[in-house]
Amino acid sequence: MSVLIDQDTRVVVQGITGHQGMTHSRLMRAFGAKVVAGVTPGKGGTEVDGVPVFDSVQEAVDRTQANASCIFVPAPGARDALIESVDAGIRLATVVTEHIPFHDMLIMYHYASAKGARIIGPNCPGIAAPGKSKVGIIPNVVFRPGRVGVISRSGTLTYEIVNGITEHGLGQSTCIGLGGDPVVGTTFVDALPLFEADPDTDLLVLVGEIGGTAEEDAAEYIRHKFSKPVIAYIAGRAAPPGKRMGHAGAIITRGKGTADSKVAALEAAGARVARFPYEVPDLVAETLKTRGRR
């Protein structure tokens, strides 16, 4: 098994005729994903590398039975693109687009939730299940199939840590890049029960960063409801007090959201927290060896 996507996932790429949509649809297919359709209004009837392009998501779903979308539509149109995909019956939408206005994302989140759909992102690298499928922009070369789950707020750190796990001769079950905006469609707490229920995930790597309370919330969930070992890393430990680092969501307020508070919460929940990204693969290997697994 894997989390949220598998070899049967059928992807429609919204904005496939743009540079990013075209490039990453090719890379998704090279990874093994079934990219069955693209959508660009006004370009229906054309193709991108043999993938049919439609004028609407509804037409794409009707013709190809697509059940997941990857949205590369620029920020001003991203809200309407998400609503269109949900109305067409898509229940998993990965929104790669960055700079989506805060209030647009609030509308997108609540609209999708009301319709029973899940958003990954925005401003995220997406989701990958090695050997099965990928929806998003995570580099293909860093993966190998395995039993380590990964959830992360940071795209670049995701790539570095996943690559380190692979270089240790281990592999990943599913990797989810949640995105770094203040409002995201899927949080750590949303993702944790999915990995808990996945029989092909033996251990979870959680990559967080300063700002917000997502990691503290995750620690509370791990303490009471998550039975698998967790290795964590928190970016921004050297940030000056009050400094916002990188992502729009990396804002420290009222004494919460600091690296120290997140590390303390995760360690109290039983997670092993690395000081540096390069330590994560060693901790993963050591923990799996202790449990008699690799």
Q: Which residues are catalytic?
A: 247
Burial code (b: 16+ CB inside 10 Å, e: under 16) for 77-109 equals: bbbebbbbbbebebebbbbbbbebeeebbeebb
Cα separation of 60 and 46, whole Å?
Answer: 13
Q: Cis omega (within 30 of 0) on the bond before 122?
A: yes
Q: Report the run of H or E that residue 94 belongs to, with start and end.
A: strand 92-95
48, 59 Cβ separation under 8 angstroms: no
What does each C-alpha distance from 103 to 76, 94, 109 come to in angstroms? 12, 18, 10
Q: Is the C-alpha dihedral spanning 14, 19, 22, 24 positive or negative?
A: negative
Map tokens 């990995």 to a residue. Answer: 195
